[in-house]
Structure 1
Amino acid sequence: MAVAGLLLAAGAGRRMGTPKALVALDGEPLVARSLRALRDGGCDPRVVVVGAATDAVTAAVHDADPAAVVVPAQAWERGMGESLRAGLAGLPGDPDAVLVLLVDTPGIGPEALARVAAAATPGSIVRGGYDGRPGHPVVFGRDHLAAVAAAAHDDVGARGYLAGRDDVRAVEVGDVATRDDVDTPADLARLASD
């Protein structure tokens, strides 16, 4: 099964004070850390959606993973839904499924990504689970991609598409990943001290 990795990294990081894609954790920008996780988790191709600080984030992407495809989200200021739509539209080829990862979830590494991707089929939706609570990453089989893109808007990514569905399979990853977002300098400091 060909599972593409789609990294959403377009936001301005207002609460962080800088785009989160460029924030360093253990000396590595979050965008580079996320790309490494996608690559080591078996996702190919890897697509990164950029918006805020486009030139700097694009340079960091190319430094980290020259094979990654960069897709600009023209309306990134509107929110994650716009980034998700741009990324899905910019996917090269016709993957069987697409794994969506957020750049501000550095606690989700390659083992968790590979585990969730391995459960995907062209007709499935698979989510990472944390002690029974759904979270990221999310993998959408090919059959869902057009509907996910149509449902995404403004700051509503796939949440609306996922709401109330009974066909979403959860794959437990809480033993190898953490679901914490890095939204503020305090979040980053807490994560760096762990």
Structure 2
Amino acid sequence: MNTDSNQNAREDSLVLLLAGGSAKRFGSDKRREIIDSEKMLIEKTISQYLNIGIEVLVCLSSRGGDDSLEEHLREQSVECLRCRRANEGIGGTLAESAAAIGDVSKLVIALADMPALLPRTILTLLEHADSEHIVYPVYGARRGHPVVFGGRFLPLIKLLSGDRGASKLLEQNAAQCVAVEVNDPGVLLDVDTPEDLRKLRGLLQARSS
């Protein structure tokens, strides 16, 4: 990838980082788990996008327990949105977040517990994206995250509700979906359990060595 194409891919893109869940399966606040270099899991995830020049909006819940996390992230100049509908699930969070932003050509919907993406994976997805399509990564024949929605789908995202998220939009708009094969297991590795966290640390350690 050359510099010009990377720059063009990032233009008019915004990451909605979904971080308002209660992490019931993990048993504690997984967002604050230390991953590497004293970074919390959520910080590591955010840095994946900021390091390649993509704007990030972190979608937190309106619960009081997220107050200190918001303060910590804002101290690092990370923009946050407190979502009153986060208790509904991912669909409610997405709808409220999409309604709060302006028009964008490419909206990257990302999960806060997925900090093992390779930079080239994110850039490749954005290079395949435009305002008219939905782009997602595939690794080992499995669909992963993040998913890039063209701007034309913003009105539909604003209508979402419940805990299913945007998966039904992919089903309803299959003809506009673009699957991109990537050599990156990080697109499948979200941290739902302590065992997932162990796998994540193992993958990051293997890459660093």
Deviation at 1:177, TM superposition (A): 3.4
User: How many percent identity over aligned positions?
Assistant: 28
TM-score (normalised: structure 1):
0.88
User: Which residue, 87, 97, 109 being the options, matches 1:87?
Assistant: 97
- The reply on whether 1:39 has 2:44 as its aligned counterpart is no
Aligned residue for 1:108?
Answer: 117
RMSD of Structure 2 on Structure 1 (CA): 1.8
**Aligned counterpart for 2:19 among listed residues 3, 6, 9:** 9
Residue pair 2:91, 2:163 contacting (<8 A) in 1 also: yes
Question: What amino acid is the match of 2:49?
Answer: L
* 2:186 counterpart SS class: coil
Render the CA deviation track for 1:103-155: whole Å, top value 9, x for unaligned: 111222432112111211111111111133221110011111111221x2110
Structure 2: distance between partners of 1:192 and 1:175: 15
Q: If the length of structure 2 is used for normalisation, what is the TM-score?
A: 0.82
Q: Which residue of 2 aligns with 1:177?
A: 186
Quick check: which has more Rg, 1 or 2?
2
- Structure 1 gaps of 5+ residues are none
2:79 is equivalent to residue 60 of structure 1: no
The answer on 1:160 being equivalent to 2:171 is no
Bigger fraction of residues in helix: 2
Contact 2:42–2:115, Cα closer than 8 Å, also in 1: no
Q: Which amino acid aligns with 2:154?
A: L
SS at match of 1:122: coil
- AA aligned opposite 1:18: S
Give the 5 Å matches for 1:64-143: 65-66=76-77, 68-91=78-101, 93-143=102-152
**1:21: Cα distance to partner?**
2.2
Distance in 2 (alpha carbons) for counterparts of 1:31 and 1:14: 17
Which structure 2 segments of 5+ residues have no match?
A: 1-10, 204-209
Alignment coverage as a number of residue pairs: 189
